[in-house]
Amino acid sequence: MPHRLALVRAVAANIGRASTVDDVADATLKSAAEYLDAVTSSVWLVTDDGACLEMRYETNAHPDAMARFARVPMDAELPGPHVIASGEACFLESRAARDARWPLIAGTPTDSEAMVVLPLETGGRRLGVVSFGFPEARSFDDEDRVALLVVADQCAIGIDRARLYEQERTRTAAQRLLATISGVDPSMDWMALARHAVTVCAVGDVDTCGLYVREGHLVRRVALASQTYPELGDELVDHYPTPLGSRAGNATAIRTGEPTPVPGRRRNATLTASPAPGYVRLMSETENGPGWAFPLRERGVTFGSMLFLPRAEKRFDDDAVAVMEAAAERTANLLISASAFAEQRAAIEALHDVVLPGDLSRINGFELAARYVPLGSAGSIGGDWWDALALPDGRLAIAVGDVAGHGVPSAAIMGQVRNALRMALVSRREPAEALGEVSRYLDWIEPNAHCTAIAATADAANGRVTWTSAGHPPPLVIAPGTAPVFLAATPAPALGVVGSGTSPYSEQVVDLSTGSILVLYTDGLVEGRNRHIDDGLGQLADVAAAIPGTETLESIADRILAALVDRPDDDVCLLVMRRP
């Protein structure tokens, strides 16, 4: 496979600029076409319920293949579900090999002769698969396979990051929407509140929003706002009530007290809300996509419902549905207590559970444990991170870092820096060179940002750890039978401080004996408003000296946190590695 390194770099660069799942998939497939000479390619993602694989993006897929296999169940005898179930890539060197191994797709027309199907996996989660097809039969040597797997890993990381950003944008929009719903005069009467709520909700993907209340056996429409049909509000409000027993979504949500899906409707379709001729006439010229109706409750009793509909060609995703349900709940609280401000929602959920790697046990011969403590009890977002990954040459790569600042911008930069460093290390860069590349990258994407970090590679065969620091607190080595020792680093600036020019970073080496422990951490562990860093380092050394040799690594990580972290003034990341 020609241009392996160019392929990896191109994918990393293109994905690094992508901010949506569509952009990530597009960057991956275009890079594959350019550097792999792939004639077909596709990205398949696991559906929300985990039951199917769905083709979301493709280039040059044959219409017959798309018609048959655009959505396949996880138990199907097909390459995609097999790769998801096994976690192993599937390399098929010819169409004959494909048809023999997978009879269900035998004879399916395609422009490709050989194909690969690779898992999209990150943090222990399999998001889907990416597939590339080649015009001629071919074999795949070890370097080909490593390069393709790196591309798939970058695609998975990019999709995960893009989903995170999309979720954060949704959460931010939700916060803004809920704040807008609540931003009313406390003395406003409930009817005016209802009109206010539907008006602020009928934005973006929500084309129409209506609010309904139960009156005996009828459901009355008290407010309606629509982007596409702005005149409907005046025509329908307080007219054409719906029977409570109707199959219409707004009535069903009130009757059952449960969120109710509302089917899409085309022009002149049969109506269930009301048989009144005036209503039929008005609604026959309208259409909508599938939406939702949510119950409005007071102390467990449903008194109304709120309806959300998209345009005919749209549908709501799960995040949007969650936002709408929250908006309905907020509206219900305001209607119940129209003279008081509604309580604001809780702070934004921390991103680190998604961005940071999953649980660790052993990677490439080393035991690992990690901890993260956010700033404050609300789980606020920060820029601290850690990483650990197996390198293609059999070594282990580990890193910790701290992007200056807090909030969504710092967390977003943190994700980019972490992924850039991961890519550099996987591309066989040594720690000093890798940090130099990341520093230049950070200076390019965010000139005002900086990040301290330590990157290291470790070889289990001889215990050798090669490490580089970019203005970060020193690593600690706990060796059996000796006092803990902080490793001395050559002074060097934080990442992003030095852009172009010669890299200021150099490497140090330490050989870990059997049973030795390496401790990496961020400054929040040892420094705070009431603790000088020297005092914190001394306290860390004292705790390390008292650790029994038989203690598990998980217990050691907990012991360090318990001793040094009470009410942190900063985020805290801790990564502990032992050579067994």
CB 420 within 8 A of CB 492: no
**Whether residue 555 sits in one domain with residue 458:** yes
- Tell me if 87 is assigned to some domain: yes
Q: Which residue has the tokens 């890539």?
A: 89
* Nearest in space to 526 (alpha carbons), one of 534, 516, 536, 540: 536
Domain span at residue 126?
A: 4-167
Q: Which residues pair with 52 in a beta bridge?
A: 73
- Tell me if 173 is assigned to some domain: no
How many independent structural domains does the chain possess?
A: 3
In the prediction, which pLDDT does 315 show? 82
The CATH number covering residue 472 comes to: 3.60.40.10
**Whether residue 309 sits in one domain with residue 372:** no
Strands (E), 299-395: 301-309, 362-363, 366-373, 382-390
* pLDDT 10s digits, 212-236: 988 766 788 999 999 999 888 888 8
**Whether residue 572 sits in one domain with residue 431:** yes
* pLDDT 10s digits, 347-393: 333 454 444 566 667 888 899 998 887 664 334 567 888 999 999 99
In the prediction, which pLDDT does 493 show? 92
The CATH number covering residue 19 comes to: 3.30.450.40
**Whether residue 94 sits in one domain with residue 61:** yes
* pLDDT 10s digits, 509-567: 999 999 999 999 999 899 877 788 888 999 999 999 999 888 899 889 888 887 787 65
- Tell me if 112 is assigned to some domain: yes
- Tell me if 341 is assigned to some domain: no
**Whether residue 442 sits in one domain with residue 319:** no
**Whether residue 368 sits in one domain with residue 271:** no
Q: Which two tokens stand for residue 355?
A: 């961005």
**Whether residue 58 sits in one domain with residue 32:** yes
**Whether residue 232 sits in one domain with residue 159:** no
- Tell me if 260 is assigned to some domain: yes
Q: Which two tokens stand for residue 398?
A: 């580990």
- Tell me if 18 is assigned to some domain: yes
In the prediction, which pLDDT does 347 show? 35
Find the farthest-apart pair of alpha carbons in the chain and give their distance in angstroms, rounded.
Answer: 90
> Residue 114: phi, psi to the nearest 5?
-105, 155
- Tell me if 220 is assigned to some domain: yes
How far apart, in whole angstroms, are the C-alpha atoms of residue 175 and residue 166? Answer: 14
How far apart, in whole angstroms, are the C-alpha atoms of residue 386 and residue 249? Answer: 47
Q: Cα dist. 539→248, 525, 564 in Å?
A: 66, 10, 7
Q: Which residue has the tokens 């000796």?
A: 482
**Whether residue 515 sits in one domain with residue 371:** yes
**Whether residue 418 sits in one domain with residue 517:** yes
Q: Which residue has the tokens 């934080």?
A: 494
CA atoms within 13 A on the CB side of 301: 6
Question: Whole-structure pTM over 0.85, yes or no?
Answer: no
Q: Which two tokens stand for residue 493?
A: 């600036």
- Tell me if 179 is assigned to some domain: no
**Whether residue 64 sits in one domain with residue 189:** no
- Per-residue pLDDT tens digits of the chain, which is 580 residues long: 446 666 667 666 666 666 677 778 777 777 767 777 788 888 889 887 788 888 888 888 888 877 788 888 999 999 999 999 999 999 999 989 988 998 988 888 888 899 999 999 988 889 999 999 999 998 888 888 888 888 888 888 888 888 877 777 767 776 777 777 777 666 677 888 899 999 999 988 899 999 998 876 678 899 999 999 988 888 888 777 787 878 889 999 999 999 999 998 887 666 655 666 777 788 888 888 899 999 998 878 888 999 999 988 788 888 889 889 999 998 998 887 663 323 333 333 345 444 456 666 788 889 999 888 766 433 456 788 899 999 999 999 999 999 987 766 777 788 889 989 999 999 888 999 999 999 999 988 888 889 999 999 999 999 999 999 999 999 999 999 999 999 998 889 999 887 666 788 999 999 999 999 999 999 989 987 778 888 899 999 999 999 988 889 988 988 888 778 765 567 788 999 999 9
- What is the identity of the amino acid at 239? H
In the prediction, which pLDDT does 489 show? 87
**Whether residue 235 sits in one domain with residue 262:** yes
Q: Which two tokens stand for residue 34?
A: 């350019």
Q: Which two tokens stand for residue 86?
A: 């096994």
In the prediction, which pLDDT does 345 show? 30
